[in-house]
Amino acid sequence: MLHNSLTKSYKKVRDTHITLAHGSGGKAMRDLIDNIFVNTFDNPILSQLEDQASLDLASLMQQGNRLALTTDSYVVDPLFFPGGDIGKLAINGTVNDLAVSGAKPLYLTCSVILEEGLSIEILQQVVTSMKIAANQAGVEIVTGDTKVVHRGAADKLFINTSGIGVIPSKFKISAYNIQPGDVVIINGHLGNHGAAILIARGELALDTNIESDCQPLNDLVATILNVCPQVHAMRDVTRGGLATVLNEFSLSSHVGIRLFEKSIPVREEVQGVCELLGLDPLYLANEGKLVIVVAKENAEKVLSAMKSHPMGYDACILGEVIDSPVGIVLLKTIFGTERIVDMLVGEQLPRIC
């Protein structure tokens, strides 16, 4: 429900497209914020329309002993793609960054930069999608900001979301905690998001049914931590793919990691796109993948808990932690040979032949 005093003041936005007036600080902006954001996000903290959200400390402190704070900006092109859109991504990305610390994600901010000329209908679709994603993840969007820039100064719509969550005292999850002998677990197929975006850009003129894996991981994380509070390290696998996360893990914890090529789950359609373009699915982006490092004795219970969850149905063990070479990720190929899986220097570029 909106705050009573506000329901009187806002008028319907009659413009069909964003103009500079919507960022001016005047009535047009107020109408846009009320109509689109406050009305859609619909929660009592935001509806106060203060310059900040006031959160009750006592209730936060009951849930844990540390606050998790994260921020991320979303600039994906195209705004809508199979399996998601920039709004869903902006919620799930930030929720996932919080969740992998063991935190229960609670409150998010929403800052948008709008390009003059953006269709208000598109903005409404994105904001609605944010609301649906926030509901699914169980978080509230409690404060925000709107800026409008001249046509050409931004690409349609950029979103920044920051989020806070509370970490229960029993969880000590960190990239620095990994031990030789640990096993590496993933919750499903790699590269769906990266491949879906490549296809959605339309430059390849390929027709596939690949969908982004964009999803909130907090419930899956809670399920895992419920059976195994002693998870050593956990990350959501996003830009740079699994290879990048594991390289960071190996550097932080001064260990080596060995992946088993035969265990790496990649959908055939995604593999096909990679074959065609000379890309490696280990470096493709994901938006709903979780990599977990646990002690070997905990692996089976974590795995079975994950498999019982819809977002971890395809979970599997795909690697092990070794004491050397330190700071290096190795891949045991299907032929039994070993090679390095290095960090990418820049963006993966398609090979020409």
Question: Do residues 320 and 245 make contact, with C-beta atoms less than 8 angstroms apart?
Answer: no
Cα–Cα distance list, 10 to 47, 51, 225 (Å): 12, 18, 44
Residue 67 to residue 161: CA distance in whole angstroms: 16
Count CB atoms within 10 A of the CB of residue 16: 8
> Interacting stretch for another protein, rule CB under 8 A, among 21-29, 39-47, 173-181, 332-340?
332-340
Q: Does residue 207 bind another protein (CB under 8 A)?
A: no
Cβ nearer to another protein, comparing 132 with 349:
349
Q: Does residue 26 bind another protein (CB under 8 A)?
A: no
> Interacting stretch for another protein, rule CB under 8 A, among 61-69, 95-103, 175-183, 343-351?
343-351
List the Cα angle 58/62/63 in 5-degree steps. 125
SS3 state of residue 305:
helix
> Interacting stretch for another protein, rule CB under 8 A, among 13-21, 26-34, 158-166, 266-274?
266-274
State the virtual CA torsion across 87, 91, 96, 101 in degrees, nearest 10.
150
> Interacting stretch for another protein, rule CB under 8 A, among 33-41, 77-85, 94-102, 325-333?
325-333
| Least Cβ distance, residue 254 to another protein (angstroms) | 11
Token output for 17: 């497209």
Count CB atoms within 10 A of the CB of residue 200: 21
95-124: contacts with another protein (CB under 8 A): none
H or E, element range at 332: strand 329-332
| Least Cβ distance, residue 297 to another protein (angstroms) | 27
Of the residues 10, 272, 295, 309, which one makes contact with another protein according to CB under 8 A: 272
Of the residues 11, 27, 301, 339, which one makes contact with another protein according to CB under 8 A: 339
- DSSP letter string over 45-75? HHHT--SS----HHHHHTT-SEEEEEEEEE-
> Interacting stretch for another protein, rule CB under 8 A, among 27-35, 146-154, 170-178, 339-347?
339-347
Residue 196 to residue 39: CA distance in whole angstroms: 31
Cβ nearer to another protein, comparing 127 with 328:
328
Q: Does residue 350 bind another protein (CB under 8 A)?
A: yes
Cβ nearer to another protein, comparing 26 with 325:
325
Token output for 24: 């001016």
Binding stretches for another protein (CB under 8 A): 203-204, 268, 271-272, 275, 277-278, 324-328, 330, 333-340, 342, 345-346, 349-353
